[in-house]
Structure 1
Amino acid sequence: MAPHTITCNAVTPRLIDTDITGGLLDDEKRATLRAEIPIGRLGTADDVAFAIAFLCAERAGYITGEVLDINGGSHID
């Protein structure tokens, strides 16, 4: 669809701190996970939303066929 200026990308968040994960993680598990993430924190819904908004922006129109990992450095390709 690229010839029609339609891009196709994927966003793959890792662990995002939400009401759902908050109910599943106790403080000890949360601290353990945070220590394993190079950036030192869990992701937020805003982190994911910003990435999606970026990919939807006209200025990102040359980016297509990509997978954007939102993981704080936990996984590097």
Structure 2
Amino acid sequence: SADGLPLIGPTAQPGVYLAAGHGMWGVTQGPITGKLLAQAIDSGELPSELRPFDPLRSMQRPHVPMMAKWPRLGLKP
């Protein structure tokens, strides 16, 4: 993620949840992430412990096209 924090929780696509970005800590943080995300899916409410990791937190920033970040890729927007 842009800020280095994991992405955990519901996405903009209904029914799609994300639990990613743990880096090398995935093995140790994965079980608690899974438990909290399962609670969120089951209850329909995001636990307060997961709010800082909301996958949509970065959507508040202006979008930077991929070409602006990596112009050498030769991709067309």
- TM-score bracket, normalised by the shorter chain, equals under 0.3
TM-score by length of 1: 0.27
TM-score by length of 2: 0.27
